[in-house]
Amino acid sequence: MRRRRVLGRMAATAATLSLVAVLPAVTGAGTAQAHDGHDSHSSSYKSVGYFTQWGIYGRNYQVKNVQTSGTAAKLTHLNYAFANIGADGKCFEANAPGQGDAWADYQHPVDAAGSVDGTADTAEQPLAGNFNQLRELKAANPKLKVLISIGGWGWSTNFSDAALTPASRQALVASCLDIFIKGNLPLLDGKGGPGSAAGLFDGVDIDWEWPGSAANTGTVYRPQDKQDFTALAAEFRKQLDAYGRTTHKHYDLSAFLPAAPAKMDAGFEARKIFKYLDFGTVQGYDFHGPYESTTNQQSALRAPRDTPVANDFSDTQAIGDWLKRGAPARQLVLGLPFYGQGWTGVPDGGKAGLFQTSTGPAPATWGPGNEDYHALKALAQSGTYTVHRDTRNGFAWLYDGTNFWTYDDPQVLTAKTAFIRNAHLGGAMMWSLDGDTSNGELISAVHNGLASHH
């Protein structure tokens, strides 16, 4: 159920823009004051990690692992993925395959050994599951903010309809805030109820994939999504601020943003949306994958000159294209992958498998062609695979003579955090925390990299 954030193979016509050419317009521009006097130029970098609802099953990655790995102490924000929007245009909780998993969210009992604070859930408590564990995680890490992420690749189906009119936007936002921010979870089998999750979530992450562009099968999109996204962000900001005045708290609002220039232009008014968003996380991965027949990098810092793809995607391209469109650098948070993508049946081609043909996705644990970092690290140490690097362009890959895996390791992440600092960006986002090692090797590399020279 890992989200596939496919960029598509459309030409990124503006991707050749030099980042250097646009940076002077934003560096030294002074501190930006966002809505309500909230200082968007934070004194420290944001470190945003996605926790996947479904990771508690096969991967057995529990909220407790965020604590024991040392990850929680290195995050500023944890985004819980995902909440769904129903056909009626409202947020909801339910137990329905492919539609909702309230059992994971707040029903399933957690024993003492599996809990963050070492206390077993009781039958009487209204909040259990991941949500109660997140509450315990916040108690252990008072500075950590937890956001509810709405949508994702599979659950953006009804975003366009829900954002279509002022009335539908008002209803959508009110429903999401009622359930998650005010904590009025529906009472299901004795769990939830009015105020049961009050105080848990510190804001909302809009993960609409993608306004104005074709995305997952069945996901509705229309040209006016571009203006409707801005209006939706404004409605979220309005209602979050109104509720915040009653709780004396600022609630964060973020959004997940694409790397493809065509998707930027089809769905986002870059000069307007950051008036409402505290920050936006920019897709820094899935540039290529085994849904294509030719091997390539999935998350390079810079596109190599010998790439066979014209105007190829990269981190510097994605950030540069957002800056060119007027996005403030300090509100852009670069996405980093804690997983890799792989092909099989790949000849060497004199490039250790890079830019070569394939026969399909490489075999993997949870789904063909997609593997968590900790598993790829094991492959790298197996003696069967060789690690290859393009240090100039900031990417790595594994190759064993037939299988090719593109991924980020600590060395790559160190280069990317240096880029984040030098470009005066807002920080780093990680998809997703369950891909890391049990001792948080990747999050440590990100944390140490952002802390350098700060």
Catalytic positions are 209
Cα(46)–Cα(447) distance, integer angstroms: 10
Q: Report the candidate in 55, 46, 66 with the shortest Cα–Cα distance to residue 446.
A: 46
CA 381 to chain centre: 28
CA angle 381, 3, 304 (to 5 degrees): 60
Q: From the CB of residue 57, how many other CB atoms can be counted at a distance below 10 Å?
A: 12
Q: Check if the beta carbon of residue 447 is closer than 8 Å to that of residue 76.
A: no
Cα(85)–Cα(83) distance, integer angstroms: 7
Measured torsion, CA atoms of residues 148, 150, 155, 160, in degrees rounded to the nearest 10: 170
Q: What is the DSSP secondary-structure string of 260-271? A: -HHHHHHH--HH
SS3 193: strand
Q: Which amino acid is at 311?
A: N
Q: Check if the beta carbon of residue 182 is closer than 8 Å to that of residue 100.
A: no
Q: Tokens for 3, please give them.
A: 């989200």
Q: Tokens for 390, please give them.
A: 């393009």
- DSSP code for 72: G
DSSP strand pairing (252-257 vs 279-282): parallel
The per-residue b/e assignment along 102-137, b for 16 or more CB within 10 angstroms, e otherwise, is: bbbbbbbebeeebbbeeeebeeeebbbbbbbbbbbb
Cα(376)–Cα(329) distance, integer angstroms: 32
Cα(140)–Cα(256) distance, integer angstroms: 27
Q: Report the candidate in 333, 265, 211 with the shortest Cα–Cα distance to residue 12.
A: 265
